[in-house]
């Protein structure tokens, strides 16, 4: 294998944790490179989760989950402004439907206060109804005003783009194959694209973090995938089903099947929790859908199931330790950010601080004098005023061509997503950056046109356009299909 790069730090994994680590490292005088095995960032756990910025009352006091959750929640309040993150600080409720569950809420209240969560309070039935009128069967709730919801994919891309504007680099379609050591220390990473010299590696590989760690000689933990299924509702039909985050009283295995709003106005129910063996099993099941619906109906009996527009599943990385695995491993120069299940999204900026500080201290790196913390903020066309829309069309006629009718997404926004520093190169990449294809028809109308725009802007053929992953071709040349059939 040939050497293709030499950097101080390689970050493995382009999800919310890996991109947050990359951004934090880019604050220092370090050469940093993030590797992602898929064609785009954040298409693992980050793309399919509940998108909640947790307050921090659930995790055991003193655990890494609790410490980084509370710190991460505070950091997102700063990052929201700096990076233009899509966040709604809705607050969250854990609701009770009987006296036994009310006792559980008291335990969560005390734990949350011990964890340092601010503003926690127990609400009566009447106080709950004032905030969430559809929760008529609830007798009380734990209220956490510091919680909210965000757009996780957008946050991960923003972290990466901020890192890039500060000198870091990102390589997609680059799979890690192994490591080269010298005198017991990490010296290089072997990848599908070539060998990268480095002194430090951060393992943020999600459900594959244990496999990456074993390649480096660290067999101290294992990761088990836990699948969660969801149902998403059309925002035009039930945007007022709930206004924030509504949890049932949690179990030892899960925070429970919740009813939750999104930053874009949709509502979803989910997720359940299924421990599985296959790390790529994202199939939804009839049993799972029935479980989710039955649980959600305990809180809101009249669920508008006719307004459901899609079902999906995501995988969480459950560690054998029961907690996050953060920090240096037995392999010198190798750092883990593993087992990042809930509240991993919320904790990501705090985890990044821990790892970046540790590596900078070991390397003797100092912070840059002119770190560019802000990203240019851009308002989507559908959120502009009529006057702003007219001005945008006057400046760029592609704003006058609506490609996605459900979400009012224009051709200009799609082209911009393809040309961004962390560019959209797949149909789902465009969807997650712009929402083209996320409306009621789920891409039935705009999908073919989005495909044409990607092919045109990347100067590739239609059959070369991918849906999401490296093998997810949507179209084939007719003669190619005939040859394969023969």
**What whole-number distance in Å separates Cα of residue 204 and Cα of residue 468?**
20
Contact indicator for 424, 413 with CB cutoff of 8 Å = no
Task: Select from 6, 329, 327 the least CA-distant residue to 198.
Answer: 6
Q: Per the residue annotation, which of 54, 77, 264, 377 is the catalytic one?
A: 54
> Would you call 297 exposed, middle or buried from its count of C-beta atoms within 10 A (0-12, 13-18, 19+)?
middle
Q: Which two tokens stand for residue 71?
A: 């710190």
Helix (H) or strand (E) run with residue 373 in it: none
Helix (H) or strand (E) run with residue 472 in it: none
152 three-class SS: helix
* Cα dihedral 455/458/463/467 (nearest 10): -90
Question: For 51-167, where are the E strands, in sequence order?
Answer: 52-53, 87-88, 92-96, 121-124, 140-144, 148-150
CB atoms within 10 A of CB 221: 17
Q: Which two tokens stand for residue 479?
A: 């003669």
Q: Can 377 be counted among the known catalytic residues?
A: no
Give the residue numbers annotated as catalytic, written as ranges. 54
């Amino acid at each position: 294998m040939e050497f293709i790069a030499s950097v101080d730090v390689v970050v493995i994994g382009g999800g919310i944790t890996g991109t947050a680590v990359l951004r934090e490292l880019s604050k220092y005088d370090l050469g940093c490179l993030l590797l992602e095995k898929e064609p785009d960032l954040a298409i693992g756990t980050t793309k399919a989760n509940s998108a909640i910025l947790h307050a921090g009352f659930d995790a055991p006091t003193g655990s890494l989950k609790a410490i980084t959750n509370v710190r991460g929640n505070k950091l997102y309040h700063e990052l929201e402004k700096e990076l233009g993150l899509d966040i709604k600080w809705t607050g969250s409720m854990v609701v009770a439907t009987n006296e036994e569950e009310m006792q559980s809420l008291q335990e969560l209240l005390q734990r949350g206060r011990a964890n340092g969560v601010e503003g926690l309070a127990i609400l009566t039935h009447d106080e709950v109804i004032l905030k969430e009128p559809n929760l008529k069967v609830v007798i009380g709730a734990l209220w956490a005003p510091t919680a909210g919801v965000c757009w996780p994919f957008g946050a991960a891309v923003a972290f990466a783009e901020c890192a890039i504007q500060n000198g870091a680099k990102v390589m997609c379609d680059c799979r890690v194959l192994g490591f080269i050591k010298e005198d017991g220390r990490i010296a290089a990473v072997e990848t599908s694209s070539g060998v990268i010299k480095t002194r430090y590696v951060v393992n943020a590989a999600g459900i594959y973090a244990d496999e990456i760690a074993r390649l480096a000689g660290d067999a101290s933990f294992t990761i088990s995938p836990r699948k969660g299924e969801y149902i998403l509702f059309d925002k035009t039909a039930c945007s007022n089903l709930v206004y924030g985050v509504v949890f049932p009283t949690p179990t030892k295995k899960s925070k429970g099947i919740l009813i939750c709003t999104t930053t874009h106005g949709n509502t979803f129910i989910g997720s359940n929790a299924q421990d599985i063996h296959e790390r790529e099993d994202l199939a939804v099941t009839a049993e799972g859908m029935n479980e989710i619906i039955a649980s959600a109906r305990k809180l809101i009996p009249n669920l508008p199931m006719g307004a459901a527009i899609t079902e999906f599943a995501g995988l969480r990385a459950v560690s054998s330790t029961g907690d996050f695995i953060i920090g240096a491993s037995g392999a010198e120069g190798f750092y883990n950010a593993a087992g990042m299940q809930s509240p991993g999204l919320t904790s990501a900026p705090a985890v990044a601080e821990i790892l970046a500080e540790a590596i900078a201290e070991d390397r003797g790196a100092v912070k840059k004098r002119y770190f560019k913390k802000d990203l240019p903020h851009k308002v989507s066309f559908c959120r502009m005023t009529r006057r702003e829309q007219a001005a945008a069309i006057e400046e760029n006629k592609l704003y006058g061509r609506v490609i996605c009718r459900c979400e009012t997404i224009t051709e200009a926004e799609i082209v911009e997503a393809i040309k961004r520093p962390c560019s959209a190169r797949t149909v789902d990449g465009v969807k997650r950056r712009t929402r083209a294809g996320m409306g009621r028809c789920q891409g039935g109308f705009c999908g073919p046109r989005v495909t044409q725009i990607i092919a045109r802007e990347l100067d590739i053929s239609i059959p070369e356009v991918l849906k999401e992953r490296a093998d997810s071709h949507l179209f084939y040349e007719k003669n190619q299909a005939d040859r394969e059939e023969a």
